[in-house]
Homo-oligomer: A and B are copies of this chain.
Amino acid sequence: MVQKNKVTLEDISRKINISRTTIYKILNNKGKVSEETRRIVLETVREMNYVPNQAAKNLALNKQYNIAFSGFNSPQTPYTLNNLLKGTDWAAEEFKDYGLNLIYSLIDRGNRGEQIREIYKLAESGVDGFAIFPSQVEPMKKCINDLVDMGKYVVTVNKDVPDCRRHLYVGCDYYKSGILAAEVLARMIPPGQEIAVFLGGEGIEHMDITERYRGLTKKIGRFPSIKLLPPFKYDGNDPDKIKHFLTALLSENQNLGGIFDLTYELDLISRIVNKYNNKVRLVGFDLCDSVKNHMISHSIDAVVFQDMPAQGYLAVKHLYQFLSDSATAEIREESTKLEVVYEGNLEFYI
């Protein structure tokens, strides 16, 4: 017969004539037990190969863990938030029968300040853990430290808040993300040609961009035959600036082999490149809808993708585990997978 019956506390109890309760106490370090019984029990438990049944445990505990996901939406890029939410929904579904109660607090990018106020409100109304996708980095520091002082668990998602006492960051390593994208682009470029970089905002609020740029410059060093042009810095205000610079570049530089986008204006850049010269390779980040279309038309070559649903999922899952196991976190960061998307595997990323 194939069946191997699971061992329960009751089985052990019967075998050594010690009550379930006592065995339970020993296994879970509750109350006082004599050394002698402890020894016997632990031995039997080991040799009978006892594995606790989580379903029964969850049922017996029957607690509620209130966890909040706080994030922001911006009309231009609902992409990030929507994908994080996919993952948090999965987690909510997976743990709903085991006491997870997930509350959403979503604000518009317009009123950034709201986010922090909402978080304080939630903390007072009994939320035990927070997954925060921060709309601002600097002002969030104090808020997070306050939460930790109140005994709450805090996980930052997708965008980290450095130098604060959050328990965990779940998101991609932007430096590595830059390295990977640089590699993908560099391999597409024949020796002797040049790469242009479009750089977005700088400073602590734009760690994603500065880190990716750092990764790029690092990696390109391994391709000595490829030259990196000085970056074009875009302040985010007037897309026409990109347009003018790029059209000039395309018409003047016959040696341009590729473009590396760090402005999140891949859509615009792709359109312009396509009009002028379709031999220039184009690599960027993330998969919003317009990007998908350009990939299908082959006008964007590849995109480095961070698995945002996984980030949302993991953030909530870890919070749930912090709260239910009340085990302290051993890790402080969880870097999620970086993937490369082409037209050929685009369908798996929708």
Are the CB atoms of B179 and A66 closer together than 8 Å? no
Closest-CB distance, A333 to chain B (whole angstroms): 14
Measured between beta carbons, the chain B residues less than 8 angstroms from A53 are 59, 97
Are the CB atoms of A55 and B184 closer together than 8 Å? no
State whether the Cβ of A302 lies closer than 8 Å to any Cβ in chain B.
yes
Determine how many copies of this chain the complex contains.
2
Chain A interface size, under 10 / 10 to 19 / 20 to 34 / 35 or more: 35 or more
State whether the Cβ of A188 lies closer than 8 Å to any Cβ in chain B.
yes
Are the CB atoms of A103 and B2 closer together than 8 Å? yes
Whole-angstrom CA separation of A3 from B180 in the bound complex: 44
Measured between beta carbons, the chain B residues less than 8 angstroms from A281 are 187
Closest-CB distance, A300 to chain B (whole angstroms): 11
Measured between beta carbons, the chain B residues less than 8 angstroms from A111 are none
Measured between beta carbons, the chain B residues less than 8 angstroms from A79 are none
A window 318-350: CB within 8 A of B: 337-345, 348
Measured between beta carbons, the chain B residues less than 8 angstroms from A338 are 344-345, 348
Measured between beta carbons, the chain B residues less than 8 angstroms from A56 are 59, 97
State whether the Cβ of A301 lies closer than 8 Å to any Cβ in chain B.
yes
Whole-angstrom CA separation of A345 from B341 in the bound complex: 12
Are the CB atoms of B344 and A348 closer together than 8 Å? no
